[in-house]
Amino acid sequence: MNIWSYILKRVLLMVPTLFGVIAITFAVIQFVPGGPVEQAMLEMKGRGGGGEASGGGAATGASAYRGRQGIDEQRIEEIKKLYGFDKPPAERFWGMVKGFLTFDLGKSFYHHGDVWTLVKSKLPVSISIGLWTFFLSYLISIPLGIAKAVREGTRFDGFTSALVLVGYSIPGFVLGVFLLVVFAGGSFLQWFPLRGLTSDNWENLSLLGKVTDYLWHITLPVAASVIGSFAVITMLTRNTFLEEIRKQYVLTARAKGLSERKVLYKHVFRNALIPLVTGFPAAFIASFFAGSLLIETLFSLDGMGLLAYESAIRRDYPVVMGTLYLFTLIGLVVKLLGDLCYVWADPRVQFESLAK
């Protein structure tokens, strides 16, 4: 099987997978209480009973009862039509799927706008945090893991292992609170801003001023996000390098008189990085879309994490389904890229074995 046949087979398998994820989620949503129609009715009931609810407990109960009886069937049908719930579930599902084929993700019930436009407006925050987290994690963890493998059993190895594991054990939002208290106007220092991605006067700053202001704002959120990710990549790099260093071809290279640096970076490096390279595309894309709700809330950053949470709470189904479709599609493509990277990193792997 050549590369193009493998890619075609995987693309064809993506279609039923994507369809199945969307269909299952849509079916589950039909049984979730508190949808947009119910929320609109509750809001109308609250308005209808608000003026009569001030006369004590009995009056409150009476007005609430009258509020429940105060919405006629015609008004309920109008609300259902407004949100598209006047159509059967099957018709709504196929209409949604047809829109997805042209990347029409629908209209948000709550934001009253296009879902794709809404997602694009939130991406700068998620990309800012994710991109810096991704690059800092790899740029620090891989050299650190190599250094730990070369110095196995030394004080440096033990100290750095304890350090990265302590960072891994601290939840990101707890570290974020600590950084805010210490460095952002708490009881100690006031070196960094409390909220936002840029200052209010960002548009009036020079190019250097804009870059400096952006880095100033992003420092604490990125620090809270990145420290916990050091441990996994660092320890994976260390253990993989140790496994390769102990293999026979390394002893042979050393016996030929090659320097330790050449043995490490010419012979060991490529084989040891295979687990990291194969996960590179997934980690790169996930860093953009796996926004942390708590980190964004702590630092008042309006990104994808906050959007996903609010959409689920408000039962904003077009946003939930649209983002699910988009991220599932990206995830399937990234999985394919990961397999291709695996073959690129290790030519011994054949497409026949990946296709099974």
Per residue in 75-99, pLDDT (tens digit) is: 767 667 766 777 787 888 888 888 8
Q: What is the pLDDT of residue 288?
A: 61
DSSP state for residue 114 in the 8-state scheme: B
pLDDT band at 352 (very low <50, low <70, confident <90, very high): low
Position 66 confidence tier, pLDDT thresholds 50, 70, 90 = very low
Helices and strands in the chain, H and E counts: 19, 0
Q: 114 has which bridge partners?
A: 107
CB 311 within 8 A of CB 268: no
- Of 343 and 53, the structure prediction assigns the larger pLDDT to 343
Q: SS3 helix, strand, coil % of the chain, rounded to 5?
A: 75, 0, 25
Query: In this model, does residue 59 exceed pLDDT 50?
Result: no
Task: Count the alpha carbons within 13 Å of 117 in the hemisphere toward its beta carbon.
Answer: 7
Average pLDDT over residues 269-280: 71
- Cβ atoms 254, 101 nearer than 8 A: no
- pLDDT reported for residue 50: 41
Of 50-54, 228-232, 273-277, the one with minimum mean pLDDT is 50-54
Q: pLDDT at residue 272 above 60?
A: yes
Mean pLDDT of 268-277: 74
- Predicted confidence band of residue 229 (pLDDT cuts 50, 70, 90): confident
Cβ(355)–Cβ(6) below 8 Å: yes
If you average pLDDT over residues 136-156, what whole number do you get?
86
**pLDDT for 92:** 82
| CA atoms of 20 and 80, how far apart (whole Å) | 26
| Location of structure tokens 């109008």 | 78
For residue 109, give both structure tokens: 């019930």
Query: Looking at per-residue confidence, does 336 or 282 come out higher?
Result: 336
Computed on alpha carbons and rounded to an integer, the radius of gyration of the chain in Å comes to 27
pLDDT for the residue 298: 79
pLDDT band at 170 (very low <50, low <70, confident <90, very high): confident
Whole-number Å distance between alpha carbons of 134 and 296: 17
Q: Which residues of 308-334 are buried (b: 16+ CB within 10 A; e: fewer)?
A: beebeebbbbbbbbbbbbbbbbebbeb
Q: Chain-centre distance of CA 169, in angstroms?
A: 20
Whether the CB-CB separation of 37 and 85 falls below 8 Å is answered with: yes
Averaged pLDDT for residues 105-111: 80
Q: Could you report the per-residue pLDDT of 297-342, keeping only the tens digit for each?
A: 778 787 777 787 788 887 888 888 888 888 888 878 877 877 777 6
User: Tell me, what amino acid is at 50?
Assistant: G
> C-alpha dihedral over 286, 179, 138, 259, to 10 degrees?
-170
Please give the Cα distance from 305 to 103 (Å, whole number): 21
List the one residue out of 146, 180, 113 whose CA is nearest residue 271: 146
Compute the distance between CA of residue 347 and CA of residue 342 in angstroms, rounded to an integer: 8
What ranges do the domains of the chain cover? 34-102, 115-355
DSSP for residue 34: S
Q: Considering the chain, what percentage of its residues have pLDDT values greater than 70? A: 76
Using 50, 70 and 90 to split pLDDT, how confident is the model at 39? low
Nearest one of 282, 278, 275 to 243, comparing CA atoms: 275
Rounded to whole angstroms, the Cα distance separating 342 from 139 reads 20
Do 307 and 292 meet the contact criterion of CB atoms below 8 Å apart?
no
43-61: average pLDDT: 46
CB 17 within 8 A of CB 332: yes
Question: What length does the chain have?
Answer: 356
Residue 190, SS3 per DSSP: strand
Q: 115-355, superfamily in CATH?
A: MetI-like (1.10.3720.10)
